């Protein structure tokens, strides 16, 4: 069963506020878009705003939400969302675009960052991911923590019940990598891809307890990883020890039983959380998971995750048309015809050469079985490059 092709653009509430809802929706329609994917829960950043009216750069608050939380949903939750000041300053843009749907014809998707939250990690260090040495990654809430799972479920439940968006796009309902563009990251060792991955795998108390309950020896896996990291940090020069990683994904560690078993077990942690989120979300809103190619960091078994919710959105930034077609075709075969499957494409100058290439990549995604395309990002690119979307939408018509 094919779904109608939907074209959307990711953007931020401050972009909508600057343009005004009516003008913003008119612009999207003029580009041939059907929806906006509006940031609803987001992290820190530094953004160049080429078309900004009030400012040309913007530093959003870290780890805040861009909707008004419902007190009854969060009444006794240990981990609480924090409302961004921008909502009080500019108004509730999510409410505004939802209310404008009937007149504007622009659907509302909620771009929702789940567990990437440094502010909450700093406030709740007992609930963040920790490496084999016990060191915290404050930007990554751990999906094995019962309180973190409740936070993620409540986040989506609140958005879906209060605002009734068309779709909720789940970003990071999962683990995260050690390298993630944190402030002034330093690495004088020269970590190899596998060593970066070893530092990414969480062995916090929540993970070890949950693994033990599932009859998985997380402690044996932790000790094995700890030794690999110690050896890496003692080398004079960087050296590959698992050169088949990341090409083979977690299969590169298949010969190392306890660690490989633990990695497979982590996938179940994430899949079950996505299933819980879908279960608590209002049925009127679709729930889809967003993923890039590095699924081993996140512990995302994409076909299983798709089965647990309504579908997937694959970020295929910078990939040529042939690679996009392959990725979408293979995933469509894996998840079947009834699940939604979208492609995320980025309008950055080093990733797409012009309107013709954007149209080619968009067509490749659609013809291969994709039923949605999200373009990144409305507020971050100049007007002349944003116009490439119109060229792509015409090619898709």
Q: Is residue 1 part of a domain?
A: no
What pLDDT is attached to residue 186?
A: 84
Q: Is residue 131 part of a domain?
A: yes
CB atoms within 10 A of CB 57: 10
What would the pLDDT profile of 34-93 be if each residue is shown by its tens digit?
999 999 999 989 999 999 999 999 999 999 999 999 999 999 999 999 999 999 999 999
Q: Is residue 128 part of a domain?
A: yes
What pLDDT is attached to residue 1?
A: 46
Report the DSSP pairing between strands 311-315 and 57-58: unpaired
CA 33/CA 7 separation, integer angstroms: 5
Q: How many contiguous H segments (helices) and E segments (strands) does the chain have?
A: 18, 13
- The number of residues in the chain equals 397
> Which residues in the chain land under pLDDT 70?
1-2, 181-183
What pLDDT is attached to residue 179?
A: 79
What pLDDT is attached to residue 293?
A: 82
Radius of gyration of the chain (CA): 21
Q: Is residue 151 part of a domain?
A: yes
Q: Is residue 373 part of a domain?
A: yes
Q: Is residue 22 part of a domain?
A: yes
Q: How far is CA 234 from CA 174, 179, 278, in A?
A: 31, 20, 45
Domain count, the chain: 1
CA 363/CA 217 separation, integer angstroms: 46
Q: Is residue 375 part of a domain?
A: yes
> At 44, which CATH number?
3.20.20.80
What would the pLDDT profile of 153-186 be if each residue is shown by its tens digit?
999 999 999 999 999 999 999 999 887 766 677 8
Q: Is residue 96 part of a domain?
A: yes
What pLDDT is attached to residue 2?
A: 55
Chain-centroid distance of CA 370 in Å reads 18
Burial of 75 (0-12, 13-18, 19+ CB in 10 A): exposed
Residue 58: which domain range? Answer: 6-184+266-396
Closest CA to 18 of 30, 7, 27: 27
DSSP string, 154-170: HHHHHHHHHH--SEEEE
Closest CA to 40 of 66, 62, 15: 66
What pLDDT is attached to residue 182?
A: 64
């Amino acid at each position: 069963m094919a779904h109608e092709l939907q074209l959307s653009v990711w953007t931020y509430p401050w972009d909508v506020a600057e343009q005004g809802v009516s003008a913003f929706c008119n612009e999207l329609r003029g580009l041939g878009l059907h929806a906006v994917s509006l940031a609803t829960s987001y992290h820190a950043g530094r953004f160049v705003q080429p078309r900004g009216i009030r400012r040309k750069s913007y530093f959003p608050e870290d780890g805040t939400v861009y909707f008004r939380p419902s007190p009854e949903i969060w009444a006794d939750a240990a981990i609480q969302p924090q409302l961004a000041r921008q909502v009080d300053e500019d108004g509730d843009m999510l409410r505004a675009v939802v209310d404008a749907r009937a007149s504007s014809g622009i659907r509302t998707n909620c771009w929702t960052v789940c567990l990437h939250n440094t502010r909450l990690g700093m406030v709740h260090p007992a609930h963040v991911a920790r490496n084999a040495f016990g060191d915290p990654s404050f930007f990554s809430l751990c999906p094995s923590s019962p309180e973190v799972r409740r936070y993620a479920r409540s986040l989506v439940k609140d958005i879906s019940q209060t605002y009734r968006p068309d779709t909720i796009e789940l970003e990071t309902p999962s683990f995260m990598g050690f390298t993630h563009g944190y402030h002034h990251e330093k690495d004088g060792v020269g970590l190899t891809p596998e060593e970066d991955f070893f530092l990414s795998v969480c062995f916090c108390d929540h993970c070890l307890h949950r693994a033990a309950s599932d009859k998985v020896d997380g402690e044996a896996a932790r000790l094995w990883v700890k030794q690999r990291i110690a050896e890496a940090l003692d080398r004079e020069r960087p050296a590959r020890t698992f050169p088949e990683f990341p090409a083979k994904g977690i299969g590169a560690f298949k010969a190392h039983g306890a660690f490989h078993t633990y990695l497979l077990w982590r996938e179940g942690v994430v899949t079950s959380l996505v299933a819980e989120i879908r279960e608590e979300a209002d049925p009127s809103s679709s729930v889809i998971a967003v993923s890039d190619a590095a699924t081993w960091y996140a512990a995302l078994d994409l076909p299983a995750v798709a089965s647990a919710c309504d579908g997937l959105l694959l970020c295929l930034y910078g990939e040529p048309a042939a690679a996009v077609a392959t990725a979408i075709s293979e995933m469509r075969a894996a998840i079947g015809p009834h699940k939604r499957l979208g492609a995320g494409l980025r309008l950055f100058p080093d990733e797409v050469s012009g309107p013709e290439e954007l149209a080619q990549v968009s067509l490749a995604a659609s013809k291969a079985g994709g039923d949605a395309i999200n373009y990144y990002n409305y507020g971050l690119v100049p007007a002349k490059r944003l116009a490439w979307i119109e060229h792509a939408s015409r090619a898709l018509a």
